[in-house]
Every structure is written in structure tokens, then in C-alpha cells.
């Protein structure tokens, strides 16, 4: 095998590692991915009948306050001035999210200023009288009060988790931000925007290097093809970004994940909902939100008589599903401890990314973590000949 490093997975984590090792150290990197496309869950493509760019695995919004990450990503793409704002439909009425002064005054049919709104939320959240919350339901009430929690959080969370919040641990939510201004910008980061030419173009530029080879439709665990775990591990350093439990053939049990299902539809209207993302907070609506992708790029010339929407449904993942978000139950944490020890005992294998570390990572976090792995784990090896300390799974 003519490679100095094998990267399993072509998402942002894997491609950041590949690009840095190829560019900074002049080493040959082979990137494999079991899917037929590059980019992992950030993959996007034009919908055939409209030309509207669709994020195939749900909306991806780039934002960061990490200056190093921002400088790095701007090597491959320029960004639009897009600012993400979200709205939610509750009982036939649309409210701005996250909860802010506009949400509060609209919901209570009031005209509170910031101080009066703070006092109102403080009064409502005192319902439990100092009792330590025993479940997510009580935690939500203690954070923002029952009326706001039940309107905007409770049933939406139940749909996300397929579980009554009274049966979920309080630890799932440590805070529910409330803004006492009319600012409904969703993210607070210094930098925000969408790649001018789309995510796939950005990703392809990262992989477009003479020292990088990308092979798609390659399963690392398929021993009928040459780039498999048995042939590679121990012979070539590996950065693995797939599910950590799958790497070890579920030896310590399955980690639990949530997954998403999508229902895409092309509608014969120029604009369906007037905003990129509309959440649906009520239990009688089966999906959690609807994306309308034309609104992510208002600067583009899209058809005026058609639009693309995508309904998003959340559920627990089965083994055959694409995992999205770690559930992180107590049992999961115990299993992860065991996988951490197994990972540390592999030869020249580093685990990274959302799936490889069992952590929820936004895109900027994945890129930042990949840069850190290069600095701390791979640079000493490729730059100075030091050994590789396997691992990367924390618990």
C-alpha cells in the first residue's frame, strides 16, 4: 500500500487531518469512505429539478469563534453573510427562537422590558421550591418555568428522544438560554456564514491535493477489498473516524445513538415558509422541523415557481442506521470507558470525529479537534519520527 497514513472517513475531521499531513509533511494519505460521496454528513448537492442546493443529512450551519479554525477554513472557501435565525410553530402561531424578549412578550401577550421579563421567568421557575430536579421535565421547569418549557421545549424534546421527558435524566439539559433582548440570532459566535459555492465544493478543495487519494464505496471492515482493518492496522498509521464500537466489533456492547430521517418534497411555490428552518414544538406534528433550502442562499438565482423542503424526524438509531447524536446514558459511559482502554492498546490508531470519540461535535469543533490531533499526535511522528500514542477516546 503506497500510503503513509490511512484516514477512515471523509468528513471534516478526516479531511482536515489528511490535508494537513499531505501539505505540511508531504506524506501520502489515503482517505476511504464507505459512502458513494465525499464529505460525510456535510455533503450537499443540487436537487435535480430545481438546482437548489440541499444538505442531504440535515441543515449544516457554519459558525465559530476559534480564529485558527476560521483562518484555516477560509483557505478553501469564502463565506456568505448568512446569519441563522430559527422560528418555531406552537398551536398555530409562530415564535422566534431561542426564547428571547420577543418570544416572552408574544407568548404572554405582554410588553415586558428586560428586567420585568427576568422577574417573570424567575418567579415561574421557582415552582419546585428549591427541590432538586429528578428528571428532564422538572429540570426544564426549574430553568425557565412551566409555561415556556411546556410550550417550546417539552414536546419538542419528547419527539427528539422518543421518550417522555419525565423518564429522561435531568442531566440532558444543564441550561436553557433565555435572551432578555429582541436578538434572535441563533448562534453567538464571532464568525458565521455558509460556503459560497456549497459544502461539497469546499470539501472537494480540501481533498484536491497531489498527496491525497480518496476512494469511495470502501468499507474498512470488508475483508474482500485490500484497505481493510486486518491488512492496514499495524502496518500503516490510521486515523479512524467511524463509530468506535463498530471498530471493535461491539465487543463491549452497542453505544446508543439518535438518528434522523428526512422526507424531501419539491413544491410548486416560490416560497413555502419564508425562513430556512421552522421548528414544530407540538406533539401532534410528527416531525421536529422543516428546512427550506432556498433561504440558505438568497443571493443565488433559484427558480421562482418551485422550492425544496425537507421534513426532519428524530428517533433512536438501529445498528443499520446512520448515527447522528450520542445518547450518553450511564450505560453508554461505562461502555465508553472500556472502549477507551481498547483504543489505547491498538497499534498506531487514532480515533477522532463525532463517531470515533462518541461526542457531539459541530463542524468547527471537529476541524479544531483535527488540527489539535495533527499538532499533538501526528506532527511528532511525521515531523520528528516519534511513535504514535494510540487512542483519542475519552470517557
Residue 42 belongs to domain with CATH number: 3.40.50.720
Furthest CA-CA distance within the chain: 69
CATH of the domain at 106: 1.10.3110
Q: Are residues 238 and 330 in the same domain?
A: yes
Q: Which three cell numbers stand for residue 148?
A: 415556556
Q: How high is the mean pLDDT of the chain?
A: 95
Any domain includes 200:
yes
Structural domain span for residue 117: 97-172
Catalytic residue among 258, 287, 321, 325: 258
What is the reported pLDDT for 395? 60
Q: Tell me, yes or no, if 179 is annotated catalytic.
A: yes
Catalytic residue among 179, 294, 335, 340: 179
Q: What is the mean pLDDT of residues 334-342?
A: 96
Catalytic residue among 47, 245, 312, 332: 312
Q: Does the pLDDT at position 330 exceed 90?
A: no
Q: Are residues 109 and 236 in the same domain?
A: no
Catalytic residue among 189, 197, 213, 362: 362
Q: Are residues 358 and 241 in the same domain?
A: yes
What is the reported pLDDT for 362? 95
Q: Are residues 67 and 205 in the same domain?
A: yes
> Per the structure, how many domains does the chain have?
2
Using one digit for the tens of pLDDT, what is the confidence trace for 155-182? 999 998 888 999 888 888 888 889 999 9
CA-to-CA distance for 256 and 328, rounded, in angstroms? 7
Using one digit for the tens of pLDDT, what is the confidence trace for 274-309? 999 999 999 999 999 999 999 999 999 999 999 999
Q: Are residues 248 and 330 in the same domain?
A: yes
Catalytic residue among 134, 360, 375, 389: 360
Any domain includes 345:
yes
Q: Are residues 70 and 201 in the same domain?
A: yes
Any domain includes 179:
no
Q: What is the mean pLDDT of residues 100-112?
A: 97
Catalytic residue among 27, 56, 289, 340: 289
Q: What is the mean pLDDT of residues 357-377?
A: 96
Q: Are residues 217 and 70 in the same domain?
A: yes
What is the model's pTM? Answer: 0.94
Q: Tell me, yes or no, if 360 is annotated catalytic.
A: yes
Any domain includes 135:
yes
Q: Does the pLDDT at position 1 exceed 80?
A: no
Using one digit for the tens of pLDDT, what is the confidence trace for 9-47? 999 999 999 999 999 999 999 999 999 999 999 999 999
What is the reported pLDDT for 58? 94
Q: Which three cell numbers stand for residue 266?
A: 419539491
Q: Tell me, yes or no, if 312 is annotated catalytic.
A: yes
Using one digit for the tens of pLDDT, what is the confidence trace for 59-90? 999 999 999 999 999 999 999 999 999 999 99
Q: Are residues 336 and 211 in the same domain?
A: yes
Any domain includes 315:
no
Q: Are residues 134 and 236 in the same domain?
A: no
DSSP string for 341-371:
HHHHTSSSEEE-HHHHHT----HHHHHHHHH
Q: Which residues contact 290 (CB under 8 A, 6 or more apart)?
A: 272, 273, 277, 278, 280, 309, 310, 311, 312
Q: Are residues 212 and 344 in the same domain?
A: yes
336-346 b/e with 16+ CB inside 10 Å = b? Answer: bebbbebbeeb
Catalytic residue among 2, 109, 115, 175: 175
Any domain includes 267:
no
Any domain includes 243:
yes
Q: Are residues 238 and 384 in the same domain?
A: yes
Q: Are residues 199 and 135 in the same domain?
A: no
Any domain includes 165:
yes
**Burial, 129: exposed, middle or buried (Cβ in 10 Å; 0-12, 13-18, 19+)?**
exposed
Amino acid at each position: 500500500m503506497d500510503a503513509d497514513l490511512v484516514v477512515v472517513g471523509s468528513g471534516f475531521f478526516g479531511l482536515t487531518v489528511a490535508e494537513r499531513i499531505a501539505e505540511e509533511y508531504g506524506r501520502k494519505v489515503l482517505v476511504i469512505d464507505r459512502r458513494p460521496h465525499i464529505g460525510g454528513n456535510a455533503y450537499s448537492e443540487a436537487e435535480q429539478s430545481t438546482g437548489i442546493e440541499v444538505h442531504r443529512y440535515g441543515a449544516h450551519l457554519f459558525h465559530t469563534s476559534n480564529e485558527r479554525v476560521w483562518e484555516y477554513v477560509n483557505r478553501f472557501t469564502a463565506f456568505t453573510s448568512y446569519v441563522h435565525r430559527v422560528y418555531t410553530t406552537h398551536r398555530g402561531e409562530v415564535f422566534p427562537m431561542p426564547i428571547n424578549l420577543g418570544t416572552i412578550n408574544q407568548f404572554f401577550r405582554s410588553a415586558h422590558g428586560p428586567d420585568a421579563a427576568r422577574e417573570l421567568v424567575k418567579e415561574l421557575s421557582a415552582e419546585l421550591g428549591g427541590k432538586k430536579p429528578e428528571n428532564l421535565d422538572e429540570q426544564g421547569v426549574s430553568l425557565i418555568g412551566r409555561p415556556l418549557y411546556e410550550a417550546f421545549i417539552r414536546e419538542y424534546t419528547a419527539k427528539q428522544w422518543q421518550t417522555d421527558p419525565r423518564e429522561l435524566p435531568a442531566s440532558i439539559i444543564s441550561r436553557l438560554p433565555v435572551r432578555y433582548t429582541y436578538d434572535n440570532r441563533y448562534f453567538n459566535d464571532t464568525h458565521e456564514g455558509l460556503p459560497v459555492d456549497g459544502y461539497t465544493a469546499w470539501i472537494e478543495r480540501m481533498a484536491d491535493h497531489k498527496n491525497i487519494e480518496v476512494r469511495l464505496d470502501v468499507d474498512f471492515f470488508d475483508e474482500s477489498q485490500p484497505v481493510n482493518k486486518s491488512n492496514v492496522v499495524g502496518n500503516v498509521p490510521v486515523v479512524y473516524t467511524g463509530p468506535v464500537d463498530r471498530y471493535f466489533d461491539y465487543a463491549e456492547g452497542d453505544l446508543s445513538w439518535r438518528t434522523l430521517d428526512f422526507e424531501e418534497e419539491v413544491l410548486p411555490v416560490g416560497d413555502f415558509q419564508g425562513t430556512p428552518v421552522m421548528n414544530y414544538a407540538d406533539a401532534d406534528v410528527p416531525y421536529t422541523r422543516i428546512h427550506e433550502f432556498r433561504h440558505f442562499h438568497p443571493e443565488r438565482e433559484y427558480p421562482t415557481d418551485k422550492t425544496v423542503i425537507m421534513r426532519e424526524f428524530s428517533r433512536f438509531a438501529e445498528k443499520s442506521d446512520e448515527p447522528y447524536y450520542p445518547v450518553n446514558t450511564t450505560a453508554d459511559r461505562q461502555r465508553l470507558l472500556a472502549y477507551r482502554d481498547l483504543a489505547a492498546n491498538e497499534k498506531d490508531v487514532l480515533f477522532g470525529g463525532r463517531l470515533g470519540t462518541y461526542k457531539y461535535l459541530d463542524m468547527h469543533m471537529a476541524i479544531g479537534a483535527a488540527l489539535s490531533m495533527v499538532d499533538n499526535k501526528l506532527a511528532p511522528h511525521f515531523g520528528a519520527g516519534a511513535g504514535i500514542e494510540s487512542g483519542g477516546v475519552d470517557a
